[in-house]
Every structure is written in C-alpha cells, then in structure tokens.
Amino acid sequence: KYKLFYIFIVFLTSYTVLVWLFYTETRNYAIAQAEKQIVNILLTHRALHSYIEEIQKPTIYRLKDEGKLYREFFAPELLSSTFIARGVTNYLNQEFINASLPEIYFKLASKNPRNMLNQADDHEEHLLKLINKENLKEFKEVYSINGADYLDYAIPRSLTGQSCMRCHGDPEDA
C-alpha cells in the first residue's frame, strides 16, 4: 500500500521536475533566438550608419563642393542616419506584420535630441546612463507586461562622427 504511494510521489516529483526543466530550457532557447535576431537587426543598423557616414555623406558633401548640389542642401532622407534607421525599421516592422510576426520597438534614444521622436523616456535615460557609466557593450533584460515576456536589448551607438558635426555641432547649423 505504501509502496504504491511512494512510487506515485516519485513519479509526480519527477514529472514536475521534468516539466520545469522543459519550460526553463524552452524559454532560454526562445530568449537566445530573440537575442540573435535583435543583434542582427542592431548590427545591420550600425552597418547602415557606417555606410551613411563613410559613403553617402561624403558623396553628398563632394557634390556640394563641386557645385552640383547647392551648399545649403539638406535632406534627412539622405543625410540623417537616425531618420534613415527609423525609416528602415518602419519598413521592417511592416514586413513583420505581413508575416504575422511581432513588431520590434527600435529607438536611437537621446537625452537631448534634435528630433523629439528620439527623446529618451525614463527607462531609456537610465539605460543611457548605465551604458555610459559602466561602458557596457550590451544590456539585456527580460521582463513581463500583462503576462507577456519582452526582451529589452540595447547596445551603444557608435560615437558621433565628424560629418555629423556639420549639423549637430552648432544648433544654428541644424
């Protein structure tokens, strides 16, 4: 009689442990896959920023110097890596929606932005301070809202380049 009870307890305990292990491993795998996708997107944005800084802006500035574009020419669609990154993310999110995938929240947050769309909220401002203070290469955290898990992943953007200073160096030039 007791033998059957002990077998049942061992079975129930083993079952509970196995379910917990399966849940934990599955959740960890899902988070790792999400991290890989996010890193891919963020590194793509970094590469896009580098392309704009190293190829696109110098070409436009050369065209200005050659008189092929007027000196005051400025189009954020061509010269603002933040504007371009936000636009690319909007197109990417539309593709995610079309594929029935969840959208990503992407922001090049700043404590003192030129464009208020980039204004850091309290959480983002905390991340900026944390990344700068501790010289972090990445920040990641999983949190829940209304029972749904979200992955918060942040990496520092490359430093403002010399070509950025044409507009961002003096507020009067913007």
Average of pLDDT values for 28-34? 91
Q: Are the C-beta atoms of 153 and 38 separated by less than 8 Å?
A: yes
Sign of CA dihedral 28, 131, 169, 114: positive
- What mean pLDDT, rounded, does the chain reach? 86
Residue 35 has pLDDT above 60, yes or no: yes
CA atoms within 13 A on the CB side of 53: 18
| Cα dihedral value 76, 45, 146, 126, nearest 10 | -80
Q: What is the pLDDT of residue 174?
A: 45
Q: Are the C-beta atoms of 92 and 104 separated by less than 8 Å?
A: yes
Structure tokens at 99: 């594929």
Tell me the pLDDT tens digit for each residue of 104-127: 888 888 888 878 888 999 999 998
Rg from Cα positions in the chain:
24
Q: What is the pLDDT of residue 110?
A: 84
Residue 158 has pLDDT above 80, yes or no: no
CA atoms within 13 A on the CB side of 117: 10
Residue 77 CA to residue 68 CA, distance in Å, equals 18
Q: What is the pLDDT of residue 161?
A: 62
Q: What is the pLDDT of residue 24?
A: 94
Q: What is the largest CA-CA distance in the chain?
A: 97
Residue 153 vs residue 98, higher pLDDT: 98
Alpha helices in the chain (DSSP H): 2-51, 57-65, 76-79, 81-98, 122-134, 165-168
| Cα dihedral value 107, 110, 116, 121, nearest 10 | 70
Q: What is the pLDDT of residue 69?
A: 92
